[in-house]
Chains A and B, each alone.
Chain A
Amino acid sequence: MAKVRLTVNGAARELDVPPEMPILWVLRDVLNLTGTKYGCGTALCGSCTVLRDGEAIRACVEPISSAEGTALVTIEGLSANGTHPLQVAWRDLNVAQCGYCQPGQIMNAAALLARNPSPTDEEIDAAQQANLCRCGTYLRIREAIRVAAGEGSTGRGGDS
C-alpha cells in the first residue's frame, strides 16, 4: 500500500492507511485529532469541515488519497491558542450551545473569510447554509462571522 504524504496542521505526515479511507476517520482515529466531528457521513451537515489547501471540504466523504500532497488544516490547527478572529468572535458572542457542530462551522467560515474578507449577509448565509446546528445557534454564527470580518457588533457582555 502506497503511503499518503501530506501536511496536517503544518506537520509533514506519511500515512500508511487505505487510500479510500475518508479524511474524517484518518484525522479522528489514526491521528487522534478529534476536534473534527462526524455528523452525517454524506456531506449534508458540515460538522466535519476542514481546510484542504485552504478550501473547505467535507472530510466525511473525501478520501485521504485526495489529500495527497496537500495541506490539511483542522480546528486544532486554525490558530495558536484559539486566537483566530473567528474563534475570538465565537467566544465573545457566546455562540456555542452544545458546541459539537462549531468546529465545522468555524472552519467553513474561515475558508469564506480567506477568500472574501468582507462578506455580505447574503454571502455569509450562502456559505454557511449547509452547516447544520441542531441547537439553533445560527443567528449568533452569522453575527460572529460579521464581527470577525470587522463588520458586526461586538460582544454582548459575556465574559469568555
Chain B
Amino acid sequence: MSRPVWDLFPGGGGVTRRSFIRTAAAAGGGLILGVSTACEGGGSRTPAGGRSVGLEGGFSPNVFVHLHPTGDVEIVVARSEMGQGVRTSLAAVVADEMEADWSRIRVVQAPGHPDFGDQNTGGSQSVRNHFQRLREAGAVARRMLEEAAARQWEVPAAECAGRNHEVVHLPTGRTAAYGELAEAAGRLQVPENAVLKGADQFRYIGRPLGGVDNLDITVGAALFGADVRPPGMVYAAIARCPVVGGTHRSYDAQEALRRPGVLRVVEIPPAESPPGYGSLGGVAVVAENTWAALAGRDALRIEWDLGPHATHESSAYRASLEAAVREPGRPDRSEGDVDGALRAADRTHSAEYYVPYLAHASMEPPACVASVTREGCEIWAPVQAPQTTRRVVAGMLDVPEDRVTVHVTLLGGAFGRKSKPDFVLEAVWISKEVGRPVQVFWTREDDIRHDFYHAVSMQRLEAGLDDSKRVTAWLHRSAFPSISATFASGIDRPPADELGLGNTTVPFDVPNLRCESCPASWHTRIGWLRSVSNIHHGFAVGAFADELAALAGRDPREFLLDLIGPARVIDYWAGEENAYGVDKRAYPYDTGRLRGVVELATGEAGWGRSLPAGRGLGLAAHYCFVTYVAQVAEVSVTGDRLRIHRIDCAVDCGLVVNPDQVKAQMEGAIVFGLSLALHGNITMRAGRVEQGNFDDYPICALREVPEIHVHIVNSDAPPTGVGEPGVPPVAAAVANAIFAATGRRIRELPIRLAGV
C-alpha cells in the first residue's frame, strides 16, 4: 500500500514546522525534479546523450521513475486524481514495463511543471495520451537494470531479463534484486528506446488493481484541498457578487470584525469581463477557523452593483434559444442537399430538445491553500490543471513561473470544475494581503451559485424518410452559450470544437446531412462538465433516432443499426486530427465499433424480450472522446412514477488497462447521467442562480440507482479514456425506455412525467 509523499500532515497530530518543511521539500519536486533530466514534451526519453542522475545511490532514468537502493520505487503520476483511478492505472503501466513488484511502488503526485508534459487532466485523455510514453519510461528503466546486471556478471545483456523486481540471467538462473542494481544503473547512459513487452507478457495491464489510495481513504488520511494545514494558516470565506459581471460597490465590515475569531476583512478586486479563469472578486473574511470565517461573512453588509447580466432569466432565455433554432444557423457540417431531400421526403419529422444549466456539485467544493512569501508562492489545491494554475498565479503576482509551486492534492470529485483555478487565485490574493498561508473555503452554496455551468441548450432536429422508411435527410440545429465566451468577448454561438462533441460527430449514414449552430448570448460562466456538450447532443440525437424508428414503425435497435450504417471510417475533418485532437489514422472513427457496442449491450440486456405493461427497454449509443458506448435502460412507469430497474452498458475503449476501473467509471458515469436526467436543473432569476444545496439541486442517492451491468469489448486497439463517455447515452436511453413503456416522449431534462 503506497502513500502519497505529501501525506505528511497527519490528521489528529499537531503539524510541526519540521514536518512541514520535510513535506514541502519532498512534495515541492525537489526530490524528483532536482534529480531528473528534463524531457522534451514530457516524454519518457531523455535528450540524446543524456545521463540519468543518481540520488543517494538511486536511479532515475526519467522524471517518472525513481528506484531507491532499498528496492523501493517511486512512480510519479503527473495527472490529477479525481476518482478516475489515474494514480493507479498510470503507475501500473510504468510498473508493468519496468517489471517492478507492485507492492514496492509508491505513487508520488507531480507538482505542476512542464517537465511532465501536458498535465491538464480532462477530456478523458490520461490513458489515451500517456499509455505509450509511460510504457517507454518503465521499459527504459528495465533495460538499464538489465544492462547493469549484464556488466556486473560480464554476460551479454540479451541474456538478462527484468522479472518482478529482479534481473535474471536466463542461461544460469542467477538473479540480482533491482535495489542492488540501482546505483550501477544510475551510472549508465539512458538509451533512447527500449523494447516494449508484448501484450501476453503484461503483469498488471489488463488486470483489476485496487486503488493506490484506498487505505488512506478508508482511514481518513487521504488529503484533499481543505486538509492541508501549514503552520500559521488562517481560513477565509468570501462574499461574491450573486450575478456574474457584478461587483461590490461598497461594504461595511465593522460587524464582521467584531465576531470572535475574525482577524481581517480583505477586498478582492472585481473580475474582468469576461472573467475567464479569474477570480470573481468580492469581500473575504479571514479568521482563525472556518466557522468563524463563515459567521464573519454572514455579518458583512455589502452593496452590490449587479452589472449587465442581472436581467438574465431562464424562462425568457429559453424562449430566445427556441427562436434561434427555428431559423437557419451557421452550417458547421454539410453533406448533400438537405433542403431538397426534406422537400422530396415521403414523411418528415421534427422535435426540439431542451437541457438546462447544470452544476458540477462535486462532493468536495473548491478549496485551496496558498502561501505567498517574498520568495514566491506555494499552493496546495485540488486542481485538474496545475500548469495553467501556475501560469495564472505567476501572472497575477507578476513573478516568474518557477517561483510558483503547485502541489496537487487529491480532488474530491471535479468533473471539469477544478480545471478552472479561480478559487486558487482567491487564496493567493488573500495570502498576499495578509502575509500568511490562507485556506479559501467554499460552502456548498458558494459552489452551486458560482459554478462554471454546463451550458443551457435548445436543439431542433428535423429528418426526412423516404417511402421505404430510410432516413434521407438529417438537420440538427444547436444553440447554447459557448464555453469560449467565458474567456473572450464577441462569441455569440458555439465554436467548432464544442459542436464536435456530439453534434457534427453524428455517426449516421444519411446522404443529406447538415449540422447548424445558432446564436446564443452569454450571461454566466460556462464550463466543461463531464462529457461537455455531448450531454445535450447525446440526449437529442439519441432520443430523435428513437423517434424516427417509431415513425418508421421499426424496432429501435434494427433501425439504429441501419442509421449507423455499414462499418466504415467517418472522416470529414480537414487535417490530421479529428474532433478530439487525436491522430485520425491512429484513432479512426469507426462505425463498426459503434455497431459492436450496440450489439453487445442489446444482446446482454435481452433486447426484444417481452415485458409487462408499463415496462420498457430503451437504447442509445454515443461516440465521444474516441470511446464507443451503448446503453440499454429498463424502466417502468406507474402513474407518474418512474423507476429505472437496470442499465446494461457496453463500452469499447480499446485495450483495457484496469478492467475494474473501467467498470467503476461506467457505473459512476451512469449514476452521473441519471442525476442530470432526473434532477439537474439550475435556473436563473434576475441573473442569480436560484438553487443552493442538495435539497434544491439534488443528485441521485442509493435508492434510485438501478442494477448496472458493464460489458467491456475485448480489443487490442490503442487504449482510450473512460471518464466521460459513459455519461451521454444515459438520458436518451431512459427517455427511449419511457416511450417504450408508455408512448410518452421526453424532450426536456430533467425528466418530468407529471403533466406530460
Contacts and interface: CB of A to CB of B under 8 A. Distances in A.
A130 B210 CA distance: 26
A115 interface: no
Contacts of A82: 215, 218-219
Contact of B82 (A34, A38, A42, A98): A98
A129 B224 contact: no
Nearest to A90: B218
Interface string B205-221: 00111110111111111
A37 interface: yes
Nearest to A35: B220
A5 interface: no
A156 B83 CA distance: 18
Contacts of B96: none
B410 A125 contact: no
B664 A138 contact: no
B413 A158 contact: no
Interface string B99-110: 000100000000
Given A40-B694, A82-B219, A139-B667, A94 B210 contact: yes
B221 A98 contact: no
Interface in A140-160: 140-142, 156-160
B235 A29 contact: yes
A100 B226 CA distance: 11
Interface of A is mostly: loop
Contacts of B83: 96-99, 135
A137 B664 contact: yes
Contact of B702 (A9, A36, A90, A129): A129
Contact of A134 (B226, B290, B672, B702): B672
B214 A160 contact: yes
B80 to A, nearest CB: 11
Given A96-B211, A98-B362, A156-B208, A31 B12 contact: yes
Contacts of A136: 667-672, 675, 700, 705
A75 interface: yes
Nearest to B102: A159
Interface in A98-129: 98-103, 106, 124-125, 128-129
Interface string A55-78: 000000000000000000011101
A100 B224 contact: yes
A33 B11 contact: yes
A79 to B, nearest CB: 8
B412 A91 contact: no
A158 B210 contact: yes
A12 interface: no
B411 interface: yes
Interface in B704-731: 705, 707-708
Which residue, of B217, B669, B701, B708, has the highest number of chain A Cβ atoms within 10 A?
Answer: B217
A51 B258 CA distance: 34
A45 interface: yes
Contact of B290 (A29, A91, A129): A29
A137 B667 contact: yes
Contacts of B634: none
Given A35-B11, A132-B701, A160 B362 contact: no
B362 A134 contact: yes
A39 interface: yes
A60 to B, nearest CB: 10
A100 B382 CA distance: 12
A39 B667 CA distance: 22
A97 B85 contact: yes
Contacts of A99: 83, 213, 216-217, 222, 410, 412
Contacts of B14: 32
Interface in A19-61: 21-22, 25, 28-42, 44-45, 47
B693 interface: yes
A87 B443 CA distance: 28
A155 to B, nearest CB: 8
Contacts of B216: 99
B629 to A, nearest CB: 15
B422 interface: no
B15 A32 contact: yes
Contacts of B1: 160
Nearest to B708: A139
B260 interface: yes
A94 B213 contact: no
A40 B693 contact: yes
A51 to B, nearest CB: 13
A98 B664 contact: no
11 contacts: A21-B289, A29-B289, A29-B290, A33-B220, A35-B220, A75-B219, A90-B214, A102-B218, A128-B702, A134-B362, A138-B705
| 9 A-B pairs with least C-beta separation | A35-B220, A136-B671, A100-B412, A97-B83, A98-B83, A160-B210, A75-B220, A99-B217, A158-B210
Interface of A: 9, 18, 21-22, 25, 28-42, 44-45, 47, 74-76, 78-79, 81-82, 87, 90-92, 94, 96-103, 106, 124-125, 128-142, 156-160
Given A34-B220, A90-B218, 13 more contacts: A30-B289, A34-B9, A75-B219, A90-B217, A92-B210, A96-B213, A97-B668, A98-B364, A100-B363, A124-B702, A133-B363, A134-B413, A135-B413
